[in-house]
Amino acid sequence: MLKIGDVQIDNPVVLAPMAGVCNSAFRLTVKEFGAGLVCAEMVSDKGIVSKNGRTMDMLYIDEREYPLSLQIFGGEKETLVDAARFVDQNSNAAIIDINMGCPVPKITKCDAGAKWLLDPNKIYDMVAAVVDAVEKPVTVKMRMGWDEDHIFAIQNAQAVERAGGSAVALHGRTRVQMYEGTANWDIIREVKQNINIPLIGNGDVQTPQDAKRMLDETGVDGVMIGRAALGNPWMIYQTVKYLETGKLAGEPSVREKIDVCLLHLDRLIALKNEHIAVREMRKHAAWYLKGIRGNATVRNAVNECSTREQLATLLTDFVQEVEEKMELAESTAV
Ligand SMILES: Cc1cc2nc3c(=O)[nH]c(=O)nc-3n(C[C@H](O)[C@H](O)[C@H](O)COP(=O)(O)O)c2cc1C
């Protein structure tokens, strides 16, 4: 059983934090598909400290998402601690996570994200200061190193543990790799063998079988899934069930996929406004449509939609078209 600090987590399947994706609308949907823990997209410490309006909106959590991990990023101790304290006292996040993996230059040049990976002493210092300032458990999500020549994954994870951190999530790539190559699960296993707090493995879990393999091969306490869940919360459900029973649940129908896509859309509209939500939903709609035969035209058309009505009509018409084609194929086969 995965337990982070005093937070009990029902199963080891964790939705990865993803900027521009993991807001409450998507997280709640994935939670309903059975994820043990959902992680929010990263939030700037400076944005929190200055009470920036858009940043404050990012702290919204629906109670049904519990337990949720809220990730902050920053490069300076004072603002990071102040932001963590604010989240601790003013949000219903169960866990506060610190980002030590973000590879993008805009973040690393402010000494935030993956930049920390070069200095275990800084990690100790920053994590200890945050742990001291808050009540909620503090965790860290990191990459395995900055580049091939600077892989301090074990020292960095041990620094988190010594500083009082309650868990580590480890993505088996370096900062320089960005998303290239394959994730290194050997490092994940080595880190697991060298720390005593829970380790969540991450990187390239694309199927329920991958999740099981990661658990078996590395001994991690949880598996974190990112890209495979985009437009595909069923993958989370299938993984939870597969780990429980060893059986693979079936694939959703096209209608089921579009129904969930529309639920996600309506949640996004409630969270933001229709104008923003529909634009943001275009990429999600394309992900929901992925793999459905004959989707090319509708995937392009999604990008022209600017109202709920347009997007919903487009998608429901597509479902009808697919179902009619299937009925025709079945009747001619008889
Ligand atoms: C669109 C996108 C946004 C991401 N944003 C974040 C983020 O805000 N914080 C973070 O720690 N990692 C972020 N990541 C990294 C993922 O959490 C995860 O580590 C990575 O995608 C590898 O896992 P996967 O192979 O299951 O996708 C992001 C990844 C993607 C694809």
Render each residue's pLDDT in the chain as its tens digit; 334 residues. Answer: 899 999 999 999 999 999 999 999 999 999 999 999 999 999 999 999 999 999 999 999 999 999 999 999 999 999 999 999 999 999 999 999 999 999 999 999 988 999 999 999 999 999 999 999 999 999 999 999 999 999 999 999 999 999 999 999 999 999 999 999 999 999 999 999 999 999 999 999 999 999 999 999 999 999 999 999 999 999 999 999 999 999 999 999 999 999 999 999 999 999 999 999 999 999 999 999 999 999 999 999 999 999 999 999 999 999 999 999 989 988 888 6
Are 90 and 151 in the same domain?
yes
Q: Quote the pLDDT of residue 130.
A: 98
Predicted pLDDT of residue 334: 67
- Ligand 1 centroid distance, CA of 110 (Å): 19
Bridge-based pairing state of the strands 37-39 and 43-44: unpaired
Same domain, 188 and 280: no
* The total number of structural domains that make up the chain: 2
pLDDT for the residue numbered 187: 98
138-145 vs 13-15, strand pairing mode: unpaired
Which among 13, 18, 99, 144 is the best mutation to test ligand 1's pocket, defined by most ligand atoms within 8 Å of the CB?
A: 18
Amino acid at 251: E
Span from the CA of 318 to the centroid of ligand 1 (angstroms): 30
Structure tokens at 72: 């902050």
How many angstroms separate the alpha carbon of residue 171 from the centre of ligand 1? 9
What is the DSSP secondary-structure string of 17-47? P-TTT-SHHHHHHHHHTT-SEEEPPPEEHHH
- Based on the fold, state whether residues 263 and 237 are members of the same structural domain: no
CA of 266 to the centre of ligand 1 (A): 24
Q: How far apart are CA 96 and CA 210, in angstroms?
A: 27
Ligand 1 first shell, C-beta below 6 A: 16-21, 41-42, 71, 99, 101-102, 141, 171, 202-205, 225-228
| Ligand 1 atom closest to 143 (CA) | 19
Nearest CA to ligand 1 atom 10: 17
CA distance 72 to 47: 10
Last residue of a domain, one of 245, 273, 303: 245
Residues 204 and 62 in one domain: yes
Cα-to-centroid distance, 131 and ligand 1 (Å)? 24
Measured distance CA(190)–CA(154) in Å, rounded: 7
The first and second tokens of residue 278, run together, are 């529909």
Same domain, yes or no, for 120 and 170? yes
Structural domain ending residue among the three candidates 182, 211, 245:
245
Determine which one of 39, 102, 261, 305 is catalytic: 102
Structural domain boundaries, residue 283: 254-333
pLDDT at 333: 81
Write down the pLDDT at residue 185. Answer: 98
Q: Whose CA is nearest to atom 31 of ligand 1?
A: 227
Q: What is the CATH number of the domain that holds 268?
A: 1.10.1200.80
Residues 202 and 289 in one domain: no
Smallest CA separation from ligand 1 atom 2, residue: 18
Question: Which of 186, 210, 245 is the last residue in one of the domains?
Answer: 245
Q: Are residues 266 and 221 in the same domain?
A: no
User: Residue of the nearest CA to atom 6 in ligand 1?
Assistant: 18
pLDDT at 1: 84
CA 273 to ligand 1 centroid distance, Å: 25
* Atom 4 of ligand 1, nearest CA residue: 18
What ligand 1 atom has the least distance to the C-alpha of 101?
A: 11
The answer to whether residue 22 is catalytic is no
Q: Where are the beta strands (DSSP E) in 67-166?
A: 68-73, 95-100, 138-145
* Alpha-carbon distances of 291 from 148, 231, 260, 288, 326, rounded to whole Å: 35, 11, 16, 8, 16
Name the residue with the closest Cα to ligand 1, atom 21: 226
Structure tokens at 112: 């935030």
User: Tell me, what's the pLDDT at 263?
Assistant: 98
Beta strand pairing status for 7-9 and 2-4? antiparallel
